[in-house]
């Protein structure tokens, strides 16, 4: 597995922000998507990361080079569309992205031989779309691992949307109780860890809003949990694109 890393110009240890990308992206395209949209090194996330002394780490969206039959036939399932789960069906059993993000990646980054300038006590995570789902899900399942979590237009209730149903049935089989382990709306109901700040931005003109993203379900569940500090913002006129991310990335 490969990843992209930005380290700010600082001699001190720096906080870390992980970014999980959405469908069809990889570790190479992710960093430009959030940083270089206007073809300027001063645009987007890197400008703010450099200013505030924050490291950015962008992992890939699925395993590569496995040559699984039909792996790349669909843009919303298989290659670059892992949904950050640990697959249990036989065909996809090598897709262990949840374990990769929560264990293997952390060891690579923070372990012996990792990046010594990173402060492992100051770590947060965010993402977009499928990656927003991943960021929320990983943070909710691993209480205390992240100081905060934020998401642009996350797939907030995947067990109830077509994208999620396709992915979860393919990766996890037909046991919907297992699906709930990767659904943020289900997970936020039972979260009982340290107070978790969550910021979600959603564009009002997102064409996936009503069918695929379902943020209102997450908001409804989160507001009933006193351990969740949720700020949910609707950005008028914005859609699902990376331009939406670039506009508000400085606040994340």
* Cβ atoms 200, 151 nearer than 8 A: yes
Task: Name the active-site residue from 21, 129, 150, 184.
Answer: 129
- Catalytic, 129? Answer yes
- Catalytic, 240? Answer yes
Task: Name the active-site residue from 128, 150, 184, 240.
Answer: 240
Distance CA 109, CA 193 (A): 24
What ranges make up the beta strands (E) of 24-174? Answer: 55-59, 118-128, 149-152
* Cβ atoms 106, 191 nearer than 8 A: no
- Catalytic, 4? Answer no
> Of all residues in the chain, what percent are helix, strand and coil, respectively (each to 5)?
40, 20, 40
Distance CA 125, CA 97 (A): 15
* Cβ atoms 5, 55 nearer than 8 A: yes
Task: Name the active-site residue from 60, 183, 201, 206.
Answer: 206
Instruction: Identify the CA nearest to 119 among candidates 127, 109, 132.
Output: 109
Catalytic residues: 129, 206, 240
């Amino acid at each position: 597995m490969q990843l992209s890393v930005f380290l700010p110009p600082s001699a001190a240890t720096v906080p870390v922000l992980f970014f999980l990308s959405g469908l069809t992206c990889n570790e190479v395209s992710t960093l430009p998507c959030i940083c270089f949209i206007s073809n300027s090194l001063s645009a987007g996330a890197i400008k703010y990361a450099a200013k505030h002394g924050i490291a950015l780490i962008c992992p890939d969206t699925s395993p590569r080079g496995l040559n699984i039959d039909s792996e790349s036939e669909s843009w919303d399932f298989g290659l670059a569309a892992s949904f950050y789960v640990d697959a249990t069906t036989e065909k996809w059993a090598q897709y262990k992205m949840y374990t990769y993000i929560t264990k293997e990646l952390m060891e690579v980054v923070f372990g012996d031989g990792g990046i010594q300038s990173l402060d492992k006590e100051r770590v947060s995570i965010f993402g977009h779309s499928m990656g927003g789902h991943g960021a929320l899900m990983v943070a909710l399942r691993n209480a205390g691992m992240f100081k905060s979590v934020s998401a642009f237009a996350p797939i907030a209730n995947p067990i109830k949307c077509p994208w999620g149903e396709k992915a979860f049935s393919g990766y996890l089989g037909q046991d919907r109780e297992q699906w709930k382990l990767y659904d943020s709306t289900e997970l936020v109901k039972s979260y009982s860890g340290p107070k978790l700040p969550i910021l979600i931005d959603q564009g009002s003109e997102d064409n996936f809003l009503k069918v695929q993203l379902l943020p209102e379900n997450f908001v409804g569940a989160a507001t009933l949990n006193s351990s969740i500090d949720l700020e949910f913002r609707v950005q008028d006129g914005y859609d699902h694109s990376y331009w939406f991310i670039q506009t508000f990335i400085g606040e994340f």
